[in-house]
Amino acid sequence: MARELTTGKAQAVTPEDFNARVKRLLADKPDPRKAEPRTRGFKNSKPPAND
């Protein structure tokens, strides 16, 4: 994956190379799917009906 930058031009990156870099960047970040459920911040405007 180490590329020798001999010119000042941009070089192509393979999809495998890109995916490996992204995995390394996201390795230390928490998984967003494991977020805690939040309580709703609103209240009902009507009180419950008593029959």
Q: What percent of the chain has pLDDT over 70?
A: 63
Q: How many CA atoms, within 13 angstroms, populate the side-chain half-sphere of residue 31?
A: 2
Instruction: Show Cβ contacts of residue 3 under 8 Å, excluding neighbours closer than 6 positions.
Output: 11
The conformation of residue 34, written as its DSSP 8-state character, comes to G
Q: How far apart are CA 47 and CA 30, in angstroms?
A: 40
21, 24, 26, 27: CA torsion to nearest 10: 160
Tens digit of pLDDT for each residue in 1-43? 556 666 778 888 899 999 999 999 888 877 777 667 777 777 7
Give the pTM.
Answer: 0.39
